[in-house]
Structure 1
Amino acid sequence: MTSKSGDFKVCAARDSQGHYEKARRGEFTFFSGVDVEYEEPVNPEITIEIDHISLNDAADRISSFLKKKILSGKDIKALAKGTDKA
């Protein structure tokens, strides 16, 4: 499980697709931080503190984590091809 932590204002400011604004207008419901409280996972495998790093750095950390802990290079190639078998 992955967790993100960060100030609501930072998350909303980085929202390039306007999801937070749509949630505020009621177009999205059950949206964490807008109409429901965000519940942090009890024991996440990785936490990304988005207040303190760039989006690119966050993506790099997640990618590194996946490569090291979950997927082998062979599995990544299979997923890129759309198969679940290497």
Structure 2
Amino acid sequence: MEMMQAVQSLSALAQESRLAIFRFLVAAGPEGMAAGSIGEKLGLPPATLSFHLAGLTRAGLAHSRQEGRFVIYSADFEGMGRLLAYLT
């Protein structure tokens, strides 16, 4: 991992809502969770949630997949591992 990617990832996690979303995605595991369910659990409006999920995705900490009419988000465990490896 390059320093700039690490800075981008750490910057994404430095925001309270994004950190809460990321922790929730990590707890959900590799199967992830539908965006609507994440918003309900964390009490975030859809537009706010979408903004923060996009930030986590750009930072390499989350990814999404389409399942029918739902968008499922999950933590990018490989990205998280690269960040941890960079920090140690």
Calculate the TM-score normalised by the size of structure 1: 0.32
Higher helix share: 2
Higher strand share: 2
Tell which has more relative contact order, 1 or 2 (C-alpha 8 A, sep 6+): 2
Calculate the TM-score normalised by the size of structure 2: 0.31
